[in-house]
Structure 1
Amino acid sequence: MEDSDQTQTPTRVTDPLTNAFGSLNDLAPELSSLQDLATRGSWRSILDKVSRARSFSLLTLPHHHLTYLSYNALALMKLRRFDDAAQELDSLEDFNSSSYQYESYPHAYPNRSGSMVPFSLRWLHAVLLLKMSNRQEGLDRLYLLLDFIREKLRQKIDEKLDLSASMWRKREVIVVNCLIGYHLSGKEFGVCLNLIRELLKDSADFDPVLVSKLGYIQMQIGDLEGATTSFNRVEEMLKSKKSDDGDGDGDGDVELRNLVNRNKVLVYLIGKDYVSAVREYEECIERNDSDVVAVNNKALCLMYLRDLSDGIKVLENALERVPTVALNETVVVNLCSMYELAYVNHSDIKRTLSNWIARVAPDDFDSSCTRI
């Protein structure tokens, strides 16, 4: 079975640069269409669209080529065509090359300077080797990217460009989260603690997600007291927010409340108190029925309580209710495992599920997770 928790890192990084150009289509031809296809997981259509744009010479400016290459490389990676993605990225020069500076093309970009390389390209270049199981060189690239981000962040802070600094701060968090995920998989807990504490030390604002992640890492090394302290800090923030704002039900309030619930569950699970864990997850789902972490883990807790029937219903209902959110490999693997435990004719049931997935899943969904 596969657990899901709030420490998971994002897998999609987009960089539309709409702050520099009025709209997506101002940035590059038909870019809004590419973005829509990416949102829907139509990666094969993206490859077709990029191919046509290149064939018909629709990409007339240097940054057009970089933008389309970003989407093409992302689509290839999503489809697990890593060698093709590597070939695409290897076609680029060094990111610091003058070829990728706006000022090298004064007639095309009057009064503009700096790099035209999308951040998404830097990100894809860093994580590709990790996808290809080249762990050490992939981690080296991620750390180089982190150094690059932090230098940019320092520049924006010195220049008092708060909005731009906030953007680079978010990118720093994304990369550190990714690094923590890979170091956690290698049980390198000391490295994880150093990364998260450095991030928290440099943060001007209290970030409940980061503090919760610190608590999760502390639990991994058996520091229950430290984890409890971290989780209590998050809960105190919620109480303070309630006091300041009243019992609001905005998106931010819901997210913070659910984070507190999920933190409590981690402590309950140490004592195998699955009943209390289910109760906390039910509160999360009641506030937000798209909280797939709570849905998935509630089903697992029910299974541990030997209530396979209700566990299956929880996952099936989520897939029916919010397929675009709940349809991921972790949920499907767990549902199929429960089918195997609960039903003699599980192959037929899984085949029905697989046929439904084939109709609604994005292109990058790994259908082998049904184990038919």
Structure 2
Amino acid sequence: MSEKANNLDETDAEVSTERVTNSGLGRYFDNTGHTIFDELVSPNKSNAFATVANPVFEIPTTSPSSFFDNDTLVNAEQFSEQPATIDFHRDAWIPSEHTRKVLRTIATSTPGGNALDREILTMPGLAIQDDMIDPIKEATFQFLGEDESSSRNVLTASDVTQDERGLRNLIHAGCYRGAVNLSGRLLAIYGQGFGKINHPSKHTPHSLQLWFTRLSLLTKLKQTELLENESKPFGNLDKPDMYFIFYPELYGTRPGSMASFSFRLLLAEIPSYYGKGKQAMDNLHKVLATVSRIIKNLESGQGEDGSQLKFDSGEEEDSLKLWNGRKCRTLISIVNCALGMKNYVLASEVLENLYSSIEWKREEAETLSSAIGRVHLALGDASAAEKKFSITRENPPNSKVVRELVDRGLMAVAQNAFQEALNCFQSASALDPSNVMLVNNIAVCLLYTGKLEAAVLLMESAMTRNPVKSLQESVILNLCTLYELHTTHSKQSKLHLLRQLNRYKGDSLDIGCLKLGI
């Protein structure tokens, strides 16, 4: 269901169907301005219906577990062409009282006149010294030999320019491990390389954006232990050295946080990736409380941090739009976290409140309602899901709306009506033939209707027709499971898939999806 790579545009002007369809982890890579970090990747998202043992249905990108990627429904980040105004509002944050006191002391003191207490410093560093290896190359060497392995042609951190452009090139090529390796080299320049955790160093918006990129890629690669160790030094980004005013010699009296809002959301969510969903939920609610406080300040005519600032009416309206958008993004992160914890009741409640609190455009409202319906399916409440899908058996499906056809297909799956589901997914695929998720779902329906060989042929055909797009972890895992059901001699077919991965894919894929017993 996840696409190999998305060109993510951080300039969030308004909601578009393409953004709703293709958004992913790239939400974490937006920044306070247009940078090289703007165009990144979407993750492989788990879904509420998936199991490892059997081929599973792909839930389309309007499902709760993948549709709600924060900036898909609300795109309020870009509201002005005046860079100073954008920076002022986008950088705003309310520090804790202790941090506020420290910053006030720094602002009223002679530069360099204060001895820095280690407790007020953020001291990150790399947790690994060696570069991450390419698992596809390693597996190819192990199973197919040196000749096949030597033919692999993918970018590494040493093959690109040692700067942000090189980082972007690696990410666009699907070489996320190479990008992690390069990010480590670039962070070492800031004195934040291996062994530097708990060592003081200076921070800049650029260094924090490098960390943001690195931690996002580690999230994508499911490197949970490394992710936990490298994210912890940042805490909740509230230490004084996370604010511009901490460095008066560089930024004067410039207010606000050097860390982007999306970095805050990422750090808040990270505990959920290593099994601490409750901690992540608490973190997200703290972010939500601060965002709500900022909105309240703006509505009362104050600045975001509660200061007495004078805005013209247009500027105040733009800032409210920005922060209301961020409130929605935070709520969506809470939904994602709740789904990860399988707390579908909470997810449904938050979504219902979100649905009713904003006047959505028709297409947005229908998509959001559809996603709520899929949460009800996860709860096993087919009747509630049907109401949210706004479909009934008496009314024929709209043959031109892929989303409605998919909704009907999912309803049929929930009712074990696999032939009906097959018809729906096939109709949707006719409208969107390049959609790999639909091909996957058709194959699973074929399996459940007793047409195993047809399912295998369909998925192999998709792989042959468009290997770059079709070679996705979830699809490969399903196909390898079908091979095992189809024959006791499935290894050769799996090795053929490995050859395709060696030829067409970067270093980001989890080789375990081939089920080769590595």
Judge same fold: TM > 0.5, yes or no: yes
Q: Which residue of 2 aligns with 1:214?
A: 372
1:266 aligns with 410
Alignment-derived partner of residue 56 in structure 2? 2
Question: Match for residue 53 of structure 1?
Answer: 186
After superposition, where does 1:126-141 map in structure 2 within 5 Å?
A: 126-141=268-283
2:241 maps to what in 1? Answer: 99
Task: Tell me if structure 1 keeps the 8 A contact 2:280–2:337.
Answer: no
Output the amino acid matched with 2:66.
Answer: T
1:317 corresponds, among 461, 470, 473, to: 461
- Alignment partner, residue 317 of structure 2: 160
Q: 1:81 to 1:95 in 2, by over 3 A?
A: same
Give the C-alpha shift of residue 281 in structure 1. Answer: 1.3
User: Residue 513 of structure 2 aligns to which amino acid in structure 1?
Assistant: C
The question of 1:351 aligning with 2:351 is answered no
Shifted more, 93-102 versus 166-175: the winner is 166-175
Aligned counterparts, 1:170-319, within 5 A: 171-172=329-330, 174-184=332-342, 188-206=343-361, 207-232=365-390, 257-319=401-463
Change (3 A) 1:51 1:191: closer
Partner of 1:83, secondary structure, is helix
Deviations 1:327-372 (A, max 9, x none): 3222111111111111232111112112322443343311112111
Q: Could you say what the CA RMSD is over the residues aligned between the two structures, in angstroms?
A: 3.7
| Larger mean Cα displacement after TM superposition, 290-299 or 79-88 | 79-88
Give yes or no for the alignment of 1:81 onto 2:214.
no
For residue 175 of structure 2, what is the amino acid of its counterpart? S
1:20 and 1:111 mapped to 2: Cα distance? Answer: 19
Counterpart of 1:126, as a letter, is A
State the 1:277 CA deviation.
1.6
Distance 2:333 2:170 in 1: 25
Give the deviation of 1:231 after TM superposition. Answer: 1.0
* Alpha carbons 2:68, 2:335 under 8 Å: kept: no
Partners of 1:174 and 1:183 in 2: how far apart? 14
SS at match of 1:64: helix
1:71 pairs with 2:71: no
Change (3 A) 1:31 1:209: farther
2:164 alignment counterpart: 31
Which amino acid in 1 is paired with 2:186?
A
| Distance in 2 between residues matched to 1:44 and 1:332, nearest whole Å | 20
CA–CA distance in structure 1, aligned partners of residues 175 and 424 of structure 2 = 35
Mapped contact 2:277–2:337 kept (Cα < 8 A): no
**Whose helix fraction is larger, Structure 1's or Structure 2's?**
1
- Structure 1 contact 296–315 (Cα < 8 Å) conserved: yes
User: Which runs of 5 or more residues in structure 2 are unaligned?
Assistant: 1-54, 85-161, 193-201, 301-315
Q: Where does residue 115 of structure 2 map in the other structure? A: none
Larger radius of gyration: 2
Work out whether residues 473 and 513 of structure 2, in 8 Å CA contact, stay in contact via their aligned partners in 1. Answer: yes
| Structure 1 residues 262 and 367: alpha-carbon distance in aligned structure 2, compared to 1, 3 A threshold | same
Relative to structure 1, the CA distance from residue 296 to residue 150 in structure 2 (aligned partners, 3 Å threshold; closer, same or farther) is farther
User: Secondary structure of 1:160's partner?
Assistant: helix
Distance 1:172 1:123, change over 3 A: closer
Tell me if the contact between 2:373 and 2:386 (Cα under 8 Å) persists in the aligned partners.
yes
Whole-angstrom distance in 2 between the partners of 1:157 and 1:324 = 49
Distance of 2:380 and 2:184 partners within structure 1: 52
User: Aligned equivalents of 2:82 and 2:169: distance in 1?
Assistant: 20
Taking a change above 3 Å as real, the CA distance of residues 340 and 199 of structure 1, as seen in their structure-2 partners, is: same
Deviation per CA, 1:36-68, whole angstroms, max 9, x where unpaired?
433433222223322332344599861111011
**Aligned equivalent of 2:303:** none
% identical equivalent positions:
20
Q: Helix, strand or coil: the match of 2:64?
A: coil
The residue type paired with residue 375 of structure 2 is: I
Partner SS state of residue 9, structure 1: helix
Deviates more, 1:317-326 or 1:125-134: 317-326
State the structure with bigger RCO (CA 8 A, min sep 6), 1 or 2.
Answer: 2
Provide the rounded CA distance (Å) in 2 between the counterparts of 1:79 and 1:193. 28
Greater shift in the superposed pair: 205-214 or 50-59: 50-59
2:57 maps to a residue whose letter is: D
How many pairs does the alignment contain? 345
* Residue 509 (structure 2) pairs with residue 365 (structure 1): yes
- Provide, for residues 60-107 of structure 1, a one-character-per-residue CA deviation record: whole Å limited to 9, x for no partner: 861111011112222333344333322322333641233222344455
Q: Partner residue of 2:306?
A: none
State the distance in 2 between where 1:147 and 1:287 align. 43
Show the counterpart of 2:176.
43
Rounded Cα–Cα distance in structure 2 between residues aligned with 1:173 and 1:317: 40
Q: Which moved more, 1:66-75 or 1:79-88?
A: 79-88
CA displacement 1:195-228 (0-9 Å, x = unmatched): 2111112222152222112212233445433322
Change in 2 beyond 3 A, CA 1:311/1:20: farther
* Contact 1:284 1:291 (C-alpha < 8 Å) held by counterparts: no
